[in-house]
Amino acid sequence: MIKKFAVIVFPGSNCDHDAYYIFKKHFNVKVDFVWHQENNLKDYDAVLIPGGFSYGDYLRTGAIARFSPIMNEVINDAKKGKPIIGICNGFQILLESGLLPGALINNKNIKFLSKNVTLNVETNNSIFSNNLNVGEKLTMPIAHKEGNYIAHNKTINELEQEDRIVFKYYRNNPNGSINNIAGIINKKRNVLGMMPHPERACDQYLGSTDGKLIFESILGS
Closest by CA to 193, choosing from 68, 42, 74, is: 74
- Which one of the listed residues 88, 96, 146, 202 is annotated catalytic? 88
User: Residue 4 pairs with which residues in a beta bridge?
Assistant: 30
pLDDT digits (tens, 9 = 90+) for 98-157: 999 999 999 999 999 999 999 999 999 999 999 999 999 999 999 999 999 999 999 999
Instruction: Based on the residue annotation, tell me whether 88 is a catalytic residue of this protein.
Output: yes
pLDDT at 30: 97
Pairing of strands 148-150, 113-121: unpaired
pLDDT band at 220 (very low <50, low <70, confident <90, very high): confident
Q: Fill in the amino acid letter for 22.
A: I
Residue 118 per-residue DSSP state:
E
Distances from the Cα of 129 to the Cαs of 32, 109, 136, 167, in angstroms?
24, 30, 10, 9
* 113 neighbors 142 (Cβ within 8 angstroms): yes
Q: Fill in the amino acid letter for 140.
A: M
Distances from the Cα of 193 to the Cαs of 33, 95, 99, 204, in angstroms?
19, 8, 9, 24
* 27 neighbors 215 (Cβ within 8 angstroms): yes
Q: Which residues contact 23 (CB under 8 A, 6 or more apart)?
A: 5, 7, 29, 30, 31, 215
- Which one of the listed residues 73, 122, 197, 202 is annotated catalytic? 197
Instruction: Based on the residue annotation, tell me whether 26 is a catalytic residue of this protein.
Output: no
Instruction: Based on the residue annotation, tell me whether 144 is a catalytic residue of this protein.
Output: no
Ordered structural domains, the chain, with CATH: 4-220 (3.40.50.880)
Q: Which residues contact 62 (CB under 8 A, 6 or more apart)?
A: 54, 89, 92, 93, 94, 95, 96, 97
pLDDT at 221: 65
Residue 206 phi, psi dihedral angles, 5° rounding: -95, 0
pLDDT digits (tens, 9 = 90+) for 33-85: 999 999 999 999 999 999 998 887 777 788 899 999 999 999 999 999 999 99
Does residue 197 have a pLDDT over 90? yes
pLDDT digits (tens, 9 = 90+) for 167-183: 999 999 999 999 999 99
